[in-house]
Structure 1
Amino acid sequence: MHRGLIMLKKNILLSILILITTGIFAQNSFIDKPVAIVKLTKTDVISQKKLAYSVSLYEKQAGRALSMLEKEQVLQTLINQMLVYQAADRDNVTVTDEQVLLAGMNQMMKQTGRQLTEVQFKQIIKDQSGMDYETYAQTVRDQLILEKYVTEKKRDFLRSSSIPSTSEVELFYRQNEEKFLNPEMVKFSHIFFATRGISAEDKNAKREEANRVYQAILKGTSKFEEMVREHSDDKGSVVRDGDIGNFIDRSEQNVSIFGRDFLNSVFDLEVGKMSNVLESAQGFHIVIVNQHHQKRFLDLDDPVTPVETTTVRQYISNIISYQKQQKAFQEAAETVVKELAENADIQTFQENIN
């Protein structure tokens, strides 16, 4: 099947966006001829225009013209798809409108890296491609039906092929051991006095407030937790007595948020000891470090991070499982198409491929 169905599993939305801009169907400079006729349950024709439409997609992605052999591979992919569509229709394999919408939105959110509402998603489809949602949805629906049909027909094979062995997990770990490293991290509670976007006069007032709070705690007239509730501008951590809720490392991202001097001061603190008033890029802080983890290489049964329950072993197992699922799906798809083709009447017209 060459790349067959699997070629369609990648970059679904990108393929659609490229496809819609080619304008191939608007070209009427030649008489449309069949390049293939496929009959499993009904007769479907793959025309020159349809092949050219698909070829243009791959050429856009490759950034070059396809060879004749590659065009024949694209044609084989279209034949394979048509066989599965006819079989799925025969066997009443369908997907709902909701499944189509969720699949499309998930794909778009992965590409944009942000959460989207249904309205935002459909607007992006329209703005980036000029495509109406119904046209886009039909393309996604076809892809989902392909995947669902193969999965249903080869469910046992796919399930049995995706479980990694202990030796596979251990080999992956040995080959990537240096990547399983937790950096030095701290987790702290703070009383926060925000200063971003305020005047110099107001900033000085915040500094004086922070110093008064610090002295009150130092003298024992007030407790740290009480001052969090009364003075901290970090409302998200107030309910946790100032605990910021996550671990902080010395990454460039955190440096840009807090400033390097602030981070260095926090990392230098002893666990359980209160800092004096520290200044960050966000404001003033009185800090107590709750946990301090030194940089260390992780063993297979260590948590991936201090705040997660997933172990390195489980993390690796998930990676291998996904890789095996992809490979197994390709094998299953090839088997399904081969079985369908044996009971189908397929004619190709090589002379019409151009």
Structure 2
Amino acid sequence: MKRIEFWRRGQVGGGLLAPSTDSKRFSMDGYSPDCRGSRWWVAGLLTAVFIVLLPLAMGTDLDRVLAIVDDGVITQSDLELRLAQHVVDLQSTGQTIPAQDELERQVLLGLVQDQVLLHRAQARGISVDEARVDNAVAAMAKRNRLSIDGLRREVERRGMPFVRYREGLREQLIIRELVSSEVTRYIEASDVEIDEFLSSQKKRAVNQEAQLDLSHILISVPAAVSAAERETRESLAFDILRRVESGMLFDEAARQFSQGPYASKGGNLGLRPVSQLPELLVAAVEGLAPGDLSSVVESAGGFHIVRLNVRAQAGQQLVRQYRVRHILQVPNAVSDLSMVSARLVQVRDRILAGADFSTMVRLHSEHLPSRSNGGDLGWVGPGDVVPEFEAVLKELVPGQVSLPSRTRFGLHLIEVTDERLHDVGGKRLRAQARSTIRSRKIDERYEGWLNELIGRAFIEYRSPRFQAQ
């Protein structure tokens, strides 16, 4: 693939994270701004799980204060909402649900951490405007195949005021901006570190495990449902399987029916080592060829349908690549950042209304190398673009156009037109190693930074059952 010199990591840094958020905490298939699977990242945008997991009815004593964090409080209602989300995440991936006391302690700790981060962001003057929140809402609706009014009705039907839902989105956008500015922005990997990493990987190649790319549909079954209701949901699972076998696209079925955390991504879990996948799903695809479907598999959390997309044998190096095009405008003495951003919002609105992207590139893009071919940058993967640009790619689905996104070069409108898994070697292995090393460094730096913030915060647990935290 032709190297995109304009985006070489060695030449640039940056200050952009992809527009991403969740209501208090949405589940996500990657917890890092630039590497899927990294464990520290606070939240993710545009997943569909939230609207299926809010409890339809809550208890009456939900405004009791459980913890004080500086000048803010965490209430029982905050805990109940987060608990519901977390339990669904665990069930949908076949993981064991901890004992109730331990589960509540884990969830409350997450809420406390969010409060500490939000207070830090407030002190730094970090804010998010209504346009970005509107975009997050619109993207969530699109992923759930709903209008914005339809999303509002569904959220409110599940028991949450839509105003609170929007504020949850805003909070996580703010947290992402904070982490970007204080943790991730200038972390890089040296050539020496990359050489050492690749050398160690070669030594381990003999024992390297296979990887699977799976897609998953979950029809959840809460523990309290009747036997008749469980049978009804089992019948639905078999009906979905018949539809897919008869020609319905799996990703369409997942978006329409699945209650798992990856429904908005067509049920795709991404390429993962076998050891990082639930045993239930691995067993379901044993003996299958790529493209084959499992039967309906039952677990305590519900009924599962699994499709095997790719089986990568030990030694193969598969990475996710994105076909990308963009429009670049550069702020200057005449047009400052806000003016350029406003112009690009207007260009984006025209594209969403049906204007041809390539035509908009010719009229508006200042990136000469790509302007002659409709803004196309070709296939890009880990390490091909600067971290802030890559972060945006990973939040987009094919056909989605980003809001104006900032890098050191200026402001971009970015569209992913396709994505694929590609077997790489040589130079690409170095890029993949660079991304992995950087993510590890971010993990380490983030943990120390967060612990320091928590150590400086005033935190008081008011409920006796949490005072040993």
Q: TM-score, normalised by structure 1?
A: 0.47
What TM-score, normalized by structure 2, do the two folds share?
Answer: 0.37
The answer to which structure has the higher helix fraction is: 1
